[in-house]
């Protein structure tokens, strides 16, 4: 089944104002790339000294890899780019609050700051469901900037994606629905 059409255009933020909205716009564009590849639309970029040193989107389906979340890929890219596993001068932007795996990776990478758009009370682990940044004996805390930049747009995109996937699934006639086919 092809990816549902993505109704959201990419953003072209001014390069002159490199604020949270600028970097989150680039993460938003990564999420669109994910949608176009029929992946859950979550995108991530990592900034250091005003420059983007990593950009990635979720590729779990294509890679058939449960660890291929946007943030994991971006953290690996960023460490390779600066030649150090410590990302203590970097800010990570992601369109949805990170899951347990990615939140853990962010603390382990000693990111300076994490900015996420859509809080996730179900699986988010930087304040939504729980907060891995507050482990009592951990010696690193990321600065957190939850919500804010592009929160509404990123939420709308995620909701629209799952709605489109549900509609596409509903339109498959029962005899062509692979899930309902008898095992051969």
Tell me which residues touch Zn ion (CB under 5 A): 69, 99, 101-102
Per DSSP, 158 falls in state H
Of the candidates 131, 125, 119, 53, which has an alpha carbon nearest to the alpha carbon of residue 87? 53
| Residue 51 annotated as catalytic | no
Sorted by sequence, the CB contacts under 8 Å of residue 62 that are 6+ apart come out as 37, 39, 68
Of the candidates 66, 58, 68, which has an alpha carbon nearest to the alpha carbon of residue 35? 58
Least Å distance between CB 41 and Zn ion?
A: 14
CA distance 102 to 124: 9
Least Å distance between CB 122 and Zn ion?
A: 12
Query: From start to end of 10-50, where are the E strands?
Result: 43-48
101 versus 108: smaller Cβ distance to Zn ion: 101
Choice among 71, 89, 97, 143 that is catalytic: 71
CA distance 109 to 53: 15
22 versus 27: smaller Cβ distance to Zn ion: 27
22 versus 142: smaller Cβ distance to Zn ion: 142
Least Å distance between CB 173 and Zn ion?
A: 35
Residues annotated as part of the active site: 71
């Amino acid at each position: 089944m092809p990816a549902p059409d993505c109704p959201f255009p990419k953003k072209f933020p001014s390069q002159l104002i490199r604020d949270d909205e600028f970097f989150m716009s680039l993460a938003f564009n990564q999420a669109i790339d994910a949608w176009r590849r029929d992946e859950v639309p979550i995108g991530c970029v990592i900034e250091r000294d005003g420059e983007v040193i990593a950009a990635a989107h979720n590729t779990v389906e294509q890679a058939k890899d449960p660890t291929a979340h946007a943030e994991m890929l971006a953290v690996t890219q960023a460490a390779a780019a600066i030649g150090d596993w410590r990302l203590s001068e970097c800010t990570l932007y992601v369109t949805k609050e990170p899951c347990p795996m990615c939140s853990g990776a962010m603390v382990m990478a000693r990111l300076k700051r994490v900015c996420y758009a859509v809080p996730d009370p179900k699986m988010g682990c930087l304040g939504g469901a729980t907060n891995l940044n507050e482990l009592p004996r951990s010696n690193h805390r990321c600065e957190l900037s939850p919500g804010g930049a592009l929160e509404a747009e990123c939420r709308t995109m995620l909701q629209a994606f799952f709605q489109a996937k549900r509609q596409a699934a509903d339109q498959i006639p029962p005899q062509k629905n692979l899930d309902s086919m008898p095992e051969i």
